Structures are given as structure tokens and as C-alpha cells.
Chain A
């Protein structure tokens, strides 16, 4: 056998070209596998370095670091940590109970009862969804805390104030109330998925409307209730602002503030301890995920056979409706509208107290201070950039991921769909810490760390499951045949997505973008580990100002945030009305 043998040469050439041919034929599949793998790497990236660091005795960038279990020993030996865990669980349970209960009742009342001013009330009830819990915490604190306006005023008028807001119960209350709108949306959607006929069948069998809801709708909502409880619990673990603002004065510490203190505020950061605490939080969440799955058993018992999904009939309640509407209105006033109005008022004054007439304290100084100080202006600017540009990047990623998740062979499909929901069980703070560590480990991470891009990455990981869940149902409604029709007429695969899928998805893509925009605007927990002076956002600036006791500028920043997000919120609402 020699190199000049012509037959051998052609054989090897044709074998090579066959391999190339095969790669070419499967280009679409290969691109999908690569994309699915990249998505998986992105979404697990915060967890890997944390787990790694958790078992190291020195910071993970230190070459001499060695394996250890001491971090966990130290963690559990720290009485502050034990105490914080206890407080977290208490706030988690009470807060979750409040938000699940309020969310369920409001979904029942606002969706199923024939109430006066139903639509307006629904908008008012949902509005706090667009507010960051940071703003809510400031507003509540300025109104209802022992030194707050209302508490002092009540003391003056009737002799005694309010129960102390700066307590575990107070924190739980605000944590519960601020998560109520999300719970409402969750229950509302779940109730709409239960075919109307199941309820009508119960009515025909003789059940009153309320009994039909109690015996048919409620048991069928069980999976949603448990899922909502889980979601709420993770949200409670994630809360940083509420325990920081309300718990700070009373020195009440929870896991998130413990992490915040150990990981950011402390002069000497103990990386191992912080990681161990983060791992502990992850495990805590996983325990709840398992418990939820175990409690439900065979899910088919809850699967309803889809009929025509007509919106369920509204139950007439007559005069009771006015009372219920009044109660809901009062709830909205007390929990959101008054505090926010008060915050806006506060931003235009130097000092607010029931002992002083407002006319004497009116001022624009707060805004002058915020807008006159370059670092503050920059944080507003940064927030806008992250929300606008980051939101766009997130939508593109989500769109590509849905294509991979729903237009691929089965194995990539299920892999991607499961991957998409991984971050759901990671608290925002942990995402922040994890991304920070990841940039320490990865080459070129330093560059990323100094830019806004790192915030965008963290935010995308954090909110990807929500965005994916928003886009998926719309995507599923577009039949694959429509895309195939493009390809039959001669268009490429990518062209079929651009020509057919994207235009049809326009409303869903828009609402996905707005969702990212609002969430990115609000988010601060993930940012608090990642920001540098150059990359501060409104939330982190507000937290710093609050620590310094500058409540005027905090209120001014809140007012600016409200002014910037409310138009978007109204736009989303008016869009929904048309649909």
C-alpha cells in the first residue's frame, strides 16, 4: 500500500466529505444542542462556584485553598446564624400564610364574585406588583413604624400607637402583603384552567355556588396552592429590603440580612462561611420542593379534561358585594396607596411629622440633592440601561430558548424545559454571590465585574424562569405547521422563525419584555453583591442612603422610580384590556 494509490485516496476523500455532509445535514440539531448546553451552563453558573467555595478553607481565587468541612461547622456554631434561621422560618411561614391567604381570597372575590368596581379594584390590588419591596418597606416604615407618621398621629389623637412594625410579625406582614398580588395572579390563572362545567355539574347536582367552589374548585386548586406556597416561601427567603429596613432598628436578623452583612458589609469577608450559608438556603428550598411533590401524589387526579374554556360565571352577592368591595378598597388604601402617596409627599418635604404643618416643610431639596449628586444620577441612569437593554437581551435569549425547547427532538426538548426552571429555586442573593464567585474564577471575569453586564447576567438568570413561563404558552399555540409551510415554499429554518413565529408572537414578546423591564428595574438583591460605585442601581443607592439615615433622598428616589415605572404598568394594563 503506497500513498500514490489513487483508489485509496478517493475513498478517504469521500469519507471525509461524507462526515462533513453529515454535519451539514444536522446543522440545525448541532446548533440546538450547543444552545441547550450554553443555557444550562448559564443557569447553573451561580451554583457551581458556591458549592465549590463551600468546601474550601480559603477564598476560591487563592491557589493554596484546600478541601474542608469546617465552613459548615463554623456556620452552625454561629449563634447569629441559628437565630437568623429561626427568624427566617418564622417570617417565611407567617408571611407565606398571609400572601397565600390574601392572594386566594382576592382571586376568589375579584374574579368570581359580581362586585361593584371590580375592574378598578383589581388594578389597585395588582399595582404593588410593579413596586419593589424596597419602596414598600420605606413607605411602610415612614408611615407605620413606631416613629412613623401614622403611629405618632394615632398616639396624639387616641392615646396609643400601632403594634410595633419593627418586629418579626411586622416584617412577616409586609412580606406577606407585598407578595399577595403575585399569589393572586397565580390563583387566578389556576382557577381559569378549571373547566366551568365541573362547577356547573356540582350546581346541577344541587350544590350552592359557594359549596361548589369549596368542594370542587378548592380541591382541584391544591397543586396550585402548594406550588404557590413554595413560590412564596422562596420569595420570603429572598427578601432583603423588608428585614433590612424594618428589622434593622430592632436588630432582627434573617438569613438574607446575615448573608448581606457577612458578604458585603463586613470588612473581612469570610467566603467559606457565606458559601456555606448560601448552600444551606439552597438545601432549604430543595426540601420544600420535595415536600410539595410528595404531598401531591399522582398528579393525574387533578388533571381536568379541557373543555371549551369559557370564563366562569360570576356569583351574585347583592349588597354584600358593596361591603366586600369596600373592604378590598380599604386594604389597597392601607397597604399600598397611602404609603406610596405618603412617600411622594415625603419626597417634597424636609421633615414630616404630625406636630408640624406641611406648609412649613415643603421643599425641593431632596430632588436637588439626588439630581445634583453625580453618583445618584448615575444609579438612575444605570437602572434604566439595565432595564431597557438587559430586558431586550433577556427577551432574545428567552425567544431562542423557547425555540430550542419546543422545536427540537424530544431529548433536547425535555432537557431545555427542565433547565429553564432551575433558577426558580435559587434565591436572588445566592445568584448574586454565585455570579460574583464565577467572575472571580473565570478568565476575564474582572472585566465583567466592573461593568453593568454582570448585573444583566445575574438578573437574567434570576428572572429567566418567569420570562420563559410567560412566552411558552403563546409559543405552544403556534402550530409547527405554520413554520413548515415557510420551509416548503423555500425559506430556511431561521427565516421561518423570523417570518412567521416572531410576528405571531409579537404580543407575547412584548409582555415578556415589559415583565423583564419591570423586574430588572425593581431588582436590587442580586445587585447588592455585584455593584461597584460605577455600577450602582437605584435600589442599592437607596439602601446605602437608608443606612446613612437620609430619608428625604430615599423618598425622592422612590418617587422618581414610581414616575418611571408607573407609565409602563399602566401600559401593560391597558394592553391587557384590549386582549
Chain B
């Protein structure tokens, strides 16, 4: 495995407030990595640090073999010598230059002659299907076109990394979906290590090989998109990605791989829930059970379900019709529960709910 970016012991504080508290991260060469998290978790700051727009208070950053920042060795390579491509949230196209001039600017700095500059810029524009727009000014472009020009501008000088700061957030919903598959296409075409900052979980899951899920505490989980979704490590991840009911409790039965036995968690009121578990937790330790609302089955009035798991009494409070499904919020002995179902619920079916053991997962609280 080739390392593209390595962050070590990164800390960042503004005055007394510490935004990033000792973070380590390694990003593989050629991968598409998303920094996912809510606003204020420091994800953009992290991206800016890699690009050189911002400096960590302490720590070190390595891009391929170059140390571009190190607080110990007083190294801070300025942005212009890091050779990275950066796409800003508002695209930051230079309004006084045409599309061709925008794209050719970096080549001019690299002292290519006019012919070569134009050739390479036009090639890049053609590759991104922008050939016809070369002589337009940014104000004459649509939002989607501006975004593509911004990417062409960042790719033309063959940077070592492509850094994207919420590049899709300024597009409307329809365009965003198209731009998403287009971004994926670019990554596959150019095979360039790409780091994306986003707060949109679908964007992160659908685009990236690796997702770094950040919260105010630091990295919650670093893994492939499917790992993040199917095996969230913490209650925070389970809820942030895809949404989940988080039921706090105590571990009272250990799972056993040999027999296939599930873990058992007891909630404060004594309800016992069977769940999968990969946690290195001991009997008696505090854990939470995460279960996605669409996996819960309403079982009221039915003698038995084909699935096994904890059956709990349920008192529905609100039923929301959402077109494809119904969402029901109600109470159980261990607290509120959110359920999504395609079947129209009746008073009878809503009397109890099954938490299928296969769909319940022990996570760190």
C-alpha cells in the first residue's frame, strides 16, 4: 500500500477552543476518501491543512514522500509548492478571466508557452466536455458548468492530490445526483488520490472508497463505505449514517462464534435484547444497541414471527405517512422508538414490535 497523505498527531486550537484534538490519519494512494461529519467538526479545517490554507497548531503532515508541515521541525510548505488541486465550495472561479484563462492560469505560472498552454487547457476542457465554453466568462456559466470548470482548473497541472470542499453543495438536488456520478467518473479516469469534504452521508457513501467519520470528539470511524453503514462502531456513527434507534443498556451475555450465540443486552428496565457484536466489551460494560427503524417489525396480533429477536410492547404516538412508507414514533418500556414500515399499520399491529437479533448491533455508546 502506497501512502498518499499521512497526518500525525494533528491538533488545532483557536484560542482556548480546541477543534481538532490529536488526530492521526493515513490515506492510500489512488483512493477516494471522504471526510464526513456535521458542521463544526473540523473537516474543512482538516482539508485546508492538507492543502496548506490552514496550519495545525501542532502535528505533522506528509504528502507522498514530502513532509509539508511539521511543528517539531518548523516545516510549513506554502500552498503554491504543495502541488495539490483544490476545488472550493463556491468554485472561486476568477470572474475577470475566461474559462480558458482560468484553466490556463496554472500553466502560465509553470512557464509553459502560449501554444502549449492552450493545447493542454483545451485538452482538459474537452475531456470534461467543456470544449464549447472556452471563451465564456464565469458569469455566463450555469452552476454545474462552473463546478466542472473549477475541477478542470484544478486538474490541468496534474496535481498529486485533488481536494474537494463540498463541491456539490451549491447545486440543486437534481444536478447534484448527476454531478455525483460524474465525479466518480473523473476519479476512475484520472486515478488521482481524491479527498472530499462533505456533510452529506449519501455523497460520502456513494463516492468514496474510504470514509472518515468525524465528530466534535475526533475520528469516530474510518473504514469503507459499507463498513461504516453495516458495522458502525459507535452509536454516533450508526445514527449519523442512515439513522438508527440507539438503545442504551448493559452487556449481560457474550456472543460466541463457535455456537453462533448472540450477545445479550439488558436495558435499564430489564428488557433483554439479542444483538450481533464485534465489540471487545466485557460482561457488565455499558453498550448501546443500534437498530435501523426500517428493520423493526410490527408484530402485534401475530402469534409468531419467522425472525427471532426481542419482542417489546409498543405504544404508538405519531404516525406519519411518507409515500413509500409509514413512520411511527412511539414508546417502549426502555424509551422512545422510531419504526419505518411499508405496510399500513393498524392499532392491532402496532401493539408490539420485534427487534430482529440479526439487525441489532452492539455499539459503543
Contacts and interface: CB of A to CB of B under 8 A. Distances in A.
B90 A205 contact: no
Interface residues on A, range: 20 to 34
B154 A197 contact: no
A206 B88 contact: no
Contact of B79 (A195, A204, A216, A220): A204
A303 B79 CA distance: 25
Interface residues of B, number: 30
A297 to B, nearest CB: 11
A301 B139 contact: yes
Given A301-B139, A303-B95, A206 B80 contact: yes
Interface string A198-209: 101111111111
Nearest to A307: B90
* Secondary structure class of chain A's binding surface, majority of residues: helix
A62 B56 CA distance: 79
Contact of B80 (A203, A219, A220, A301): A203
A208 B80 contact: yes
Interface in A161-196: 195
Interface string A408-426: 0000000000000000000
B78 interface: yes
B139 A303 contact: yes
A14 interface: no
A305 interface: yes
Interface in B82-117: 82-86, 88-96, 105-106, 109-110
B32 interface: no
A211 interface: yes
Contact of A200 (B92, B95, B105): B92
A26 interface: no
Contact of B96 (A207, A211, A220): A220
Given A197-B88, A305-B90, A202 B105 contact: yes
A300 interface: yes
Given A197-B90, A215-B105, A305-B90, A205 B96 contact: no
B109 A307 contact: no
B90 A300 contact: no
A201 B80 contact: no
Contacts of B148: none
26 contacts: A195-B92, A197-B89, A197-B90, A200-B79, A200-B88, A201-B88, A201-B92, A203-B79, A203-B80, A204-B79, A204-B80, A204-B82, A205-B80, A205-B153, A206-B80, A206-B157, A209-B78, A211-B109, A216-B94, A220-B96, A301-B95, A301-B137, A303-B95, A303-B139, A305-B95, A313-B53
Nearest to A300: B139
Nearest to A211: B109
A417 B119 CA distance: 48
A451 interface: no
A304 interface: yes
Nearest to B110: A206
- 6 smallest CB-CB distances across A and B, nearest first, come from A205-B106, A197-B92, A204-B86, A307-B90, A203-B79, A201-B92
* Secondary structure class of chain B's binding surface, majority of residues: loop
Contacts of A211: 109
Given A207-B80, A220-B96, A302-B96, A201 B90 contact: no
Given A195-B90, A204-B84, A211-B109, 4 more contacts: A198-B92, A200-B88, A300-B95, A307-B92
A454 to B, nearest CB: 47
A224 to B, nearest CB: 13
B81 to A, nearest CB: 8
Contacts of B356: none
Given A197-B88, A302-B95, A205 B109 contact: yes
Interface of B: 51-53, 78-86, 88-96, 105-106, 109-110, 137, 139, 153-154, 157
Most A C-beta atoms less than 10 A away, residue of B78, B86, B96:
B96
B106 A206 contact: yes
Given A205-B157, A206-B106, A301 B96 contact: yes
Given A195-B90, A200-B86, A220 B95 contact: yes
A206 B85 CA distance: 10
Given A195-B90, A197-B88, A201-B153, A206 B109 contact: yes
Contacts of B79: 200, 203-204
A201 B78 contact: no
A303 B138 CA distance: 10
B78 A204 contact: no
A313 B54 CA distance: 9
A479 to B, nearest CB: 22
A312 to B, nearest CB: 11
A206 B158 CA distance: 12
Given A197-B92, A300-B137, A303-B95, A204 B110 contact: no
Nearest to A202: B105
Contacts of A219: 96
Contacts of B105: 202, 205, 207, 215
A216 B154 CA distance: 16
Most A C-beta atoms less than 10 A away, residue of B85, B106, B137:
B106
Contacts of A302: 95-96
Nearest to B82: A204
A540 B213 CA distance: 71
A389 B158 CA distance: 65
B346 to A, nearest CB: 43
A57 to B, nearest CB: 52
Given A202-B105, A203-B79, A215-B105, A304 B95 contact: yes
